[in-house]
Structure 1
Amino acid sequence: MDQALLVEILLEELPAKPLLQEFPHMLDKWQTLLSAHDLSTDTRLHYTPTRLVLHAPNFPTHTPTSTQEFFGPPVAVGVTDNALNAIGQGFYTKLNLEVPRMWQTATKNNKEVLYACMQIAPKPTTPLLDSLILNFLQALDFGKSMAWGEVKARFIRPVHNICVLFGSDEVPLPLCQETFLCTTKRATKLHFSKGFGWHKTPNIDAYFDTLEQGKVILDPKAREVKILNEIHALEQEHGFKVQVDSDLLAEVVAITSYPTALYGKFDPTFLSLPPEITTTSMQEHQRYFAIFKEGVLHAGFIVVGNTPLDNPTDFKDIVAGNEKVLKARLSDAMFFYENDLKSPFRPQNTGLEQIAFVQGLGTLASKVQREQTIGQALAQKYAPNLQEDLKEALSLSKLDLLSEVVYEFPELQGIMGGYYAKAKGYKESVCTALKEQYLPSAENAPLPSSLLGALVSLSHKFDSLLALFSVGKIPTGSKDPFALRRACNGILRICLHFNLPLDLQIDTQELAKNYQSFNTALLRDFALERLSHILENIPGYSLNIYKAVLSGIAQSQGAYEVCQIAQKVQALATFLETTQTREFVAVFKRVANITQNYKPDLEPSPKLFKDPSEHALYNAFYALQARKFKDYLEQLHALFALKEPLEVFFDNVLVNDPDLAVQNNRKSLLGAIYRAFLGIAEAKEL
């Protein structure tokens, strides 16, 4: 039998970002706790800034009937003269079972033992709720927790009340009360604008009605829809376009229980600021949505209030208050920006010498010098015509870290450097490269738009990786305080996008010569692990294909060149989806197995051939070797054409011929074919 269950945990206001990070994992943790009692039910999870709510419309009132097995002592120990002795009887007595005349046995660890099977009767689930709720709260991980008053347990915020509605009876929660020193009333609170008193909720229907009348929208998705609908209405009314950032929207949903979107304005004078300053000030500091008209920033914003008001005058007061706050913010930003423009923006005597980078790695000035060395090597390899521009861009790249705007808005480092360089008359391409030097800033973030910007970004990211690896600050597990995984992802994505032939082994070793000595194979493997995740977007991709490509490189001592690896994976994934995979792989695995212990790389001699199938295979293979292929996929199809002559060869000749010269000649032919395929992948890994 089932009945509805609702659990409301009422707390102090929750911080949005930790809540949003943990929210996707909450239901899984709840279901894991239920499964420990053989319980399973569809549960919905809601939240507002001050509550977490679990709602299961059909929660079991009893645990299911279950069977439990017990294994006793070996029959040789528990049975004497075909009768249970004291040891055998003790096994059943401990289980509170009547000692049977005819006992059961089972085999365990290759021994015949006494055996009993008991049916566990259903138990009411009401007594389980106390520990389930407590364990659920203790399983939540918000990153940080706090202590309060005399409460020994730590949690993200103080717990005020735990309301459990499960049938008509009170559900005792002694463990929760003792742990959090909270109340367990069958009651809730409304939106703060409706007062702070308790409102009784004798049942679940009453609970939902109370919140609805009390201006609390429990479902975060419903709050999001309300915000978006109201934004759309404002767009239609005023003819502008609101920039709805998904992260900002999620945060606004998390800090409101009854959201209302309102339109505010600011002085158009502030539009003379770089738009990134204005939008950052609005989004990061005030949680406002920026507005654009015809693609240009508009002197307005959308603020989402958390107060249900019916009087338009009250809305005006809220908007006016937010306009006043934003004016102060933007006035400060204007002051900082104008001060920065008065300062010189040149690489001499910058003050970067006074700012430490990382312990053991000098100052930011030292980092700039290292980046310039890397940039010179990259430019020589990829774009000799950009050497001077790259040198200039790198010499300017960290100067904006000394600016007042970046001190106030750290998110704008790099971007502001581009504006300051433009104001001082530097080339447009250099200014753009400065703006893009930290791109990509996240997994799916945009890449630099130019090769110069890509080289500036590569120089920055390469130095961070090489420098930190050289002093042993290598990411472990989930810990990556210097965001080196993100830096490595950025390098790989840039190389793939701009088709830069970066060899993760040779080039890394060459660039690492200017750093403290370390095992560069660690960095190579670190990058290869990141590359496997990036290539997951290739249709038909599998980890086996990726491993086969890397194994082929290792065995053939080939190049760990990023673009080549991606092309090989792409070709194999496409080829294996459209070809008789099993037969193809089987033939080349046979070739690999035969030649795995045959080391000499001798050229096969047709003079030693005894069978026409040898000549046919030899001619087919060397005709293939003479061709130039446009890509690896075409080469794979050509290798696949060897399947038939290989099968005929295996049917007609004995590779391990008694004549050692003939045997080695046949293995040389197969070895040459194997090495050709090894240039793409190791067949045995597929």
Structure 2
Amino acid sequence: MNQAFLVEILLEELPAKPLLQEFPHMSEKWQALLGAQGLSAPTEFSYTPTRLVLHAKDFPTHTSISTQEHFGPPLSVGVSNNALNAIGRKFYEKLNLKVPSVWQSATKNHKEVLYACVQTEPKPTAPLLDSLIFDFLQSLNFGKSMAWGNVKARFIRPIHNICVLFGGEKIPLPLCEETFLCTTKQATKLHFSMGFGWHETPDIDTYFNTLEKGKVLLDPKAREVKILKEIHTLEQEHGLKVQVDGELLAEVVAITSYPTALYGTFESKFLHLPPEITTTSMQEHQRYFATFKDGKLHAGFVVVGNTPLDNPTDFKDIVAGNEKVLRARLSDAMFFYENDLRAPFAPNPNALAQIAFMQGLGTLADKVQREQVIGQVLAQKYAPHLQEDLEQAISLSKCDLLSEVVYEFPELQGVMGAYYAKAKGYDESVCTALKEQYLPNSENAPLPSTLLGALLSLSHKLDSLLALFSVGKIPTGSKDPFALRRACNAFLRICLHFNLPFDLQTDFEKLVKNYQNFDCALLRDFALERLSHILEDTPNYSPNIYKAVISGIARSKGAYEVCQIAQKVQALGAFLEGTQTKDFVAVFKRVANITQDHQDCKLDTAPNPKLFTHESEHALYNAYTALQATPFKSHLEQLHALFALKEPLEVFFDHVFVNDPNVQIQNNRKGLLMAIYLAFLDMAEAKEL
């Protein structure tokens, strides 16, 4: 039997970002706890700034009947003289079963063992709810937690009440009450604008009706729809376009119970600021939405209030208050910006030498010097004509960290450097590179638009990777405090996009000389693991194909060149979509197995046609030499040429005994197969497919 079930955890206002990070995992954690108790119930999760709510329309009133098999010790151990001995009796006692006079046995691992089948009877669900809710709260991870009063457990914010509605009865929660020092009333509170008193909710229908009348939109999706609808109305009223940033929208939804979108303005003089300053001040500091008109930033903004007011005068007061706050912030920003423009914008090693980068890695001035060395290597390899521009861009890349605007708005590092460089007359390409030096800075962020910007970004990210690996700051498990996975992803994406043939073995070995000694194979394997994640989104990708390509490089001591690896994976994936490829792979696996003894060291001599004794050997050798003499335009074309060896290989195996008694002939045949194996190994290790 099932019935509706609801839990409301009422607490002090939750910080938006930790809540949004943990909310997607709540359902999975709850279902895992239910499963451990033999329960299952689809559950909806909702939240407002001051409550978390779980609602299941069909929640079981009892646990289900379950049957569990238990296998004990072998009969030779648990039975003596046709009777259970102490070991056999202990098996049943551990299961809380009466020791039987006649035991059951079963076969396990080819042995006769004692056997018991235990059936668990249904138990009422209500007594389990206290521990279920407690374990659920303990499972939540918001990054940081706090202690308050004499509570025994920490949580993201103090809990005031836990309301459980299930079957019309009061559910005792002694564990939760004692641990969190909270009440467990069947009651809730309304929007703060309607008072702070308790409102009894003896059943679920009353609970939802109370919140609806109390100006609380429990469903975050409903709040989002309301905000977007009101923003659309404001766009039509004022003839403008509101920039709806997804992350900002989610954050505004998380901090409001009953949102109302309002339109405000600011003085047009602030439009002379770089638009990034204005939008950052609005979005990051005030959670306002920026507005645009005719493709340009407009002197208006949208603020989402959390007060359900009916009087237009009250709305004006709220807007006026927010306009006053924004005016003060933008006035400060303009003051900082004008000060920065009056200051020189040029390399300042002495100032950067006063800013520590990381313990064991010196200062920002040291980092710039290391990046210059990397930039020189990259420019010589990929773009000698950009060497001077890259050197200048690297020398200027950290200058804006000394500016007043970046001190106030750290999010604008790089962007402000571009504005200051442009104001001082630097080349446009250098300014663009400075603006894009940190791109891509997230998984879906855009890449630098120019090769100069790409090389500047690579210099920065490669130094961070090499430097932090050299002092042992290597990501482990889910911990990556210095965002090295993100930096490595960005480095690989840039290489792939600009087709830069970076070798993860030899190029790392060249660059690592300027750092403390460490095994650069660690960094190579780290980059290969990140590359596999990047290529997951490419057509026909599979982990086996990627592993086969990497194994082929390792066995043949080939180049770990990023673009070549990606091209091989894509070509092999496309090729293996064919209908006849299974037989093709099987043939090459046979070649690999026969040459197993010779894979780590090539034979001293190439196959000698004079030692062939059957025409199938000549045919296979001719096909192989023709393949070797063919210049391939793509890896897919190379695979099709290798596929052409399938038929002569099959004929060869049908007519020739490889392990001929004549050792010279035997080695010659293995040498031929080894040559073919190495040709395929240039693409992938067949045994991994």
Shorter-chain TM-score above 0.5: yes
Q: In the alignment, which of 665, 668, 673 is matched to residue 670 of structure 1?
A: 673
Per-residue CA deviations over 1:362-390 (Å, capped at 9, x if unaligned) read 21111111111111111111111111111
Specify the SS of the correspondent of 2:500: coil
Tell me by how many angstroms 1:358 deviates.
1.1
Change beyond 3 A, Cα 1:87–1:429:
closer
Give yes or no for the alignment of 1:649 onto 2:661. Answer: no
> Equivalent residue for 1:493?
493
Q: Which runs of 5+ in 2 are unaligned?
A: none
Per-residue CA deviations over 1:323-342 (Å, capped at 9, x if unaligned) read 11111110000000000000
> Equivalent residue for 2:17?
17
Tell me by how many angstroms 1:476 deviates.
1.9
Tell me by how many angstroms 1:87 deviates.
8.1
Counterpart code for 2:426:
Y
The 1-side partners of 2:296 and 2:477 are apart by 44
Give yes or no for the alignment of 1:443 onto 2:446. Answer: no
Counterpart code for 2:317:
D
Q: Is the 8 A contact 1:10 1:51 kept in 2?
A: yes
Give yes or no for the alignment of 1:154 onto 2:157. Answer: no
Tell me by how many angstroms 1:606 deviates.
1.6
Tell me by how many angstroms 1:294 deviates.
2.2
Counterpart code for 1:589:
K
Change beyond 3 A, Cα 1:100–1:415:
closer
Tell me by how many angstroms 1:6 deviates.
0.3
Equivalent positions of 1:91-102 (< 5 A) are 102=102
Change beyond 3 A, Cα 1:345–1:84:
closer
Tell me by how many angstroms 1:630 deviates.
0.8
Equivalent positions of 1:253-292 (< 5 A) are 253-292=253-292
Equivalent positions of 1:99-178 (< 5 A) are 102-107=102-107, 112-178=112-178
Counterpart code for 2:620:
L
Q: Is the 8 A contact 1:601 1:671 kept in 2?
A: no
Change beyond 3 A, Cα 1:539–1:95:
closer
Tell me by how many angstroms 1:99 deviates.
6.5
> Equivalent residue for 1:504?
504
Per-residue CA deviations over 1:596-624 (Å, capped at 9, x if unaligned) read 21231522222111111111111112112
> Equivalent residue for 1:478?
478
TM-score by length of 1: 0.97
Counterpart code for 2:372:
Q
Q: Is the 8 A contact 2:43 2:56 kept in 1?
A: yes
> Equivalent residue for 2:243?
243
> Equivalent residue for 2:339?
339
Tell me by how many angstroms 1:679 deviates.
0.8
Range with greater deviation from structure 2 (130-139 or 364-373): 364-373
Q: Is the 8 A contact 1:3 1:59 kept in 2?
A: yes
The 1-side partners of 2:62 and 2:69 are apart by 21
Specify the SS of the correspondent of 2:143: coil
Equivalent positions of 1:581-592 (< 5 A) are 581-592=581-592
Specify the SS of the correspondent of 2:577: helix
The 2-side partners of 1:95 and 1:185 are apart by 39
> Equivalent residue for 2:421?
421
Give yes or no for the alignment of 1:392 onto 2:395. Answer: no
Equivalent positions of 1:278-677 (< 5 A) are 278-348=278-348, 351-598=351-598, 599-600=602-603, 602-677=605-680
The 2-side partners of 1:273 and 1:175 are apart by 56
Tell me by how many angstroms 1:585 deviates.
0.9
Counterpart code for 1:304:
V
Tell me by how many angstroms 1:230 deviates.
1.4
The 1-side partners of 2:238 and 2:218 are apart by 30
Q: Is the 8 A contact 1:350 1:399 kept in 2?
A: no
Specify the SS of the correspondent of 2:454: helix
The 2-side partners of 1:88 and 1:506 are apart by 63
The 1-side partners of 2:99 and 2:478 are apart by 55
Per-residue CA deviations over 1:229-249 (Å, capped at 9, x if unaligned) read 111222222222211111111
Counterpart code for 1:133:
I
Per-residue CA deviations over 1:459-482 (Å, capped at 9, x if unaligned) read 111111122222222222222222
Counterpart code for 1:141:
N
Tell me by how many angstroms 1:574 deviates.
0.8
The 2-side partners of 1:151 and 1:451 are apart by 57
Specify the SS of the correspondent of 2:335: helix
The 2-side partners of 1:10 and 1:171 are apart by 16
Range with greater deviation from structure 2 (266-275 or 656-665): 656-665
Per-residue CA deviations over 1:498-543 (Å, capped at 9, x if unaligned) read 1111111111111122222221111111111111111111111111
Tell me by how many angstroms 1:108 deviates.
5.4
Q: How many pairs are equivalent?
A: 686
Q: Is the 8 A contact 2:495 2:563 kept in 1?
A: yes
Change beyond 3 A, Cα 1:86–1:463:
closer
Query: What is the RMSD computed on CA atoms of the aligned residues?
Result: 1.9
Q: Which runs of 5+ in 1 are unaligned?
A: none
Q: Is the 8 A contact 1:539 1:573 kept in 2?
A: yes
